[in-house]
Amino acid sequence: MDKYEEMCQNFKWQIPEFFNIGVATCDIHAHETPEATCLILENSSGNVTKYTFNDIKKLSNRFANFLKSVGARKGDRFAIFLSQQLETAIAHIAGYKLGLINVPLFTLFGPDALHYRLENSAAKFIIINNNDLEKISEIEKNLPNLETIVVVDGSINNGKIFSFDFCINRASDELIPEKTYSDDPALIIYTSGTTGPPKGALHAHRMLLGHLPGVQLPHDFFPQKGDLFWTPADWAWIGGLYDVLFPSLYYKVPVFACRLKKFDPEEALHLMEKHGIRNVFMPPTALKILRNIKNIRTKYKLNLRTIASGGESLGEETLLWAKEELGININEFYGQTEANLLISNSATLFKIKPGSMGKRVMGHKVAIIDENGNELPPGEEGEIAVKSPDPVMFIEYWKNIEATHEKFIGNWMKTGDTGKIDSDGYFWFSGRTDDVISSAGYRIGPSEIEDCLLKHPAVSLSAVIGKPDKLRGEIVKAFVVLKDGIEPQKNLLDELKQFVKKRLAAHEYPREIEFVDSLPMTVTGKIMRRELRKMEEEKRKEVKQ
């Protein structure tokens, strides 16, 4: 038995009967070390402000007392339509301390996307930035449950709409938090929409504790002295909130925050250098963009200790680049909105196998199962599943009993992802269950082909789907975004096909390639292959007509 397997065998969950995320990540530290730094924020002008745990406790208490004054009660839904900013942390902590069910929402959402989530969750309260007030005004008449709107940087106070400053200045900073059970609902996070309409994954307060081993592992025994965490990922995503913000605050590690309208690799490197960032969670798309910057080590004096990434496979090329250009191992991990941080790499504990997602995170029972819920042996492909009960696992899909039942087979929660496990315990991702391409009897996952295309010097981004074909059932079709300055020539199409054919297999190369300016992605940076399939379906309809 190796060292890591021994750690897994000896691990025992310690989940108390009562637990509150807001108290555990703020109030306890404010009592013990009130002057310890909690948040470091930089605004668009480059001005930096630091907030202590005592600051955040008082501000969140004031906001919680305001919410109580307008009727907020345990179990009410509270929508937080904000980005990486002070008020986001305050709102979340206040909501948890009141026993509300927080509903984080991306600021990039338009009126339709907002309406769906606010209506589905029956949110009674929402906090927004002033520049998003128009979006809410457009839909609020069709949201009968929405009673109170709080606006950051706003000045309106009319009985339903209140400025955040008004809320904070008029309320007491003393509060007795709600005593919540570990299993009490804490938040609804909507799925990213890669496989159909978004579903609200309802999580309990215990989910923070369930995340902790999955943060410690890819960040090499996090926390360590001097750690400082940052992510360009939005705090509306489970990755931003529970891979970074709340685990860091739980461990009393300060978090750096900065609102980036769009990921800029040079700006990201500048921020990491300026603030001495030690720990980063960076989505794969951001890392692939960062790869375009040359001579990073000579241009920037970085203080990085760990980088973790998840959401899409990075591939060997990006891992090697990070080692050479950043002098660091990227630890990839795997999880999803319903049960996060289940599988991970950790270069300090075991060897990284390029292309693998890593091993199961201690505390979680993860396996490959067949369609009947039977565990499959190493080498056989099936669906990745996690066994319940598990503290990181969601309670249910909000108002969707049927979808909740479909998510499980016996005690196994199905992830909807296919893969296999090898004899050493490493998991290998193949694709979404609906992304798997069936061509001439072969089952082909898109990730490996996408990774191969990224190794070509002309390719910036790629996505692969199955396209219906009379002869083979489906053929592999690739959508390719070229790097700046590269022209989409006919000879390049043939070159890319041969590139994949030679590096993978004859049955896996893309028989069709389409050059595109961009790829449809969720706000969390995942490629929406279903949108590409829709585009192909529309093309086929036009041809028939």
43-60 pLDDT tens trace: 988 999 999 999 999 999
Is the per-residue pLDDT at 253 higher than 90? yes
The pLDDT of residue 204 is 98
Beta bridge partner(s), residue 200 = 190
Spell out a b/e string for 128-143, using b for 16 or more CB atoms within 10 Å of the CB, else e: bbeebbebbeebbeeb
| CA–CA separation, 419 and 429 (whole Å) | 4
CA distance 241 to 247: 8
- How large is the average pLDDT for residues 79-95? 97
pLDDT at 444: 81
Strands (E), 108-228: 125-129, 148-152, 161-163, 185-190, 200-204
Classify domain 438-544 by CATH number: 3.30.300.30
Please state, in angstroms and rounded to a whole number, the distance separating the CA atoms of residues 333 and 258. 24
Domain boundaries, the chain: 20-180, 438-544
DSSP bridge pairs for 475: 467
- What's the CATH number of domain 20-180, 3.40.50.12780, 3.90.550.10, 1.25.40.10, 3.40.30.10? 3.40.50.12780
- Rounded to whole angstroms, the Cα distance separating 389 from 409 reads 13
Which range has the worst mean pLDDT, 201-205, 280-284, 337-341, 402-406? 280-284
Q: Give the pLDDT confidence score for residue 441 in this predicted structure.
A: 60
Rounded mean pLDDT of 447-463?
90
pLDDT by residue (tens digit) across 207-227?
999 999 999 999 999 999 999
Q: What is the pLDDT of residue 154?
A: 85
pLDDT of residue 318: 85
Q: For residue 401, report the phi and psi dihedrals to the nearest 5 degrees.
A: -65, -40
Q: Which pLDDT does position 451 carry in this prediction?
A: 84
pLDDT for res 530: 86
Q: How does the average pLDDT of the chain come out, rounded?
A: 92
DSSP state of 483: P
Residues whose CB is less than 8 angstroms from the CB of residue 144 and which lie 6 or more positions away in sequence, other chains included:
none
Q: Where are the beta strands (DSSP E) in 145-272?
A: 148-152, 161-163, 185-190, 200-204, 229-230, 255-258
Between 119-123, 148-152, 176-180, 454-458, the lowest mean confidence (pLDDT) is in: 454-458
Pairing of strands 255-258, 512-515: unpaired
pLDDT at 447 over 90: no
Tell me the CB-side half-sphere exposure of residue 439, using CA atoms within 13 A. 22
Which helix (H) or strand (E) segment is 465 a member of?
strand 459-469
With 0-12 / 13-18 / 19 or more C-beta atoms within 10 angstroms meaning exposed / middle / buried, residue 327 is: exposed
Q: Please report the pLDDT score of residue 20 as a whole number.
A: 98
Tell me the pLDDT tens digit for each residue of 91-129.
Answer: 999 999 999 999 999 888 888 889 999 999 999 999 999
pLDDT for 443: 66
Residue 517 has pLDDT above 80, yes or no: yes
Whether residue 111 has a cis bond before it, omega within 30° of 0: no
Q: Is 464 left (phi over 0), alpha (psi -120 to 50) or beta?
A: beta
Least confident of 86-95, 142-151, 283-292, 383-392: 283-292
Q: How far apart are alpha carbons 541 and 545 in whole angstroms? A: 6
pLDDT of residue 341: 97
What's the whole-number mean pLDDT along residues 503-517? 89
Is the confidence at residue 195, as pLDDT, over 80? Answer: no
Residue 220 has a pLDDT of: 94
pTM, two decimals, is 0.85
Work out the average pLDDT over 73-80.
98
Position 503 confidence tier, pLDDT thresholds 50, 70, 90: confident
CA–CA distance, 258 with 271 (Å, rounded to integer): 9
Q: How confident is the model at residue 193 (pLDDT cuts 50, 70, 90)?
A: low
The answer to whether 279 and 229 are in contact (CB under 8 A) is yes
Range of weakest confidence among 336-345, 412-421, 524-533: 524-533
Q: Check residue 372 and give its pLDDT.
A: 96
pLDDT at 272 over 60: yes
Mean pLDDT of 385-400: 97
pLDDT tens digits along 280-310: 999 887 888 898 898 999 999 999 999 999 8
Q: What is the mean pLDDT of residues 421-443?
A: 83
pLDDT grade for 469, boundaries at 50, 70 and 90: confident
Rounded to 5°, angle at Cα 392 from 400 and 365: 105
Using left for φ > 0, alpha for ψ between -120 and 50, and beta otherwise, residue 187 falls in: beta
Q: Is the pLDDT of residue 196 over 60?
A: no
Residue 545 clears pLDDT 70, i.e. is over it: no
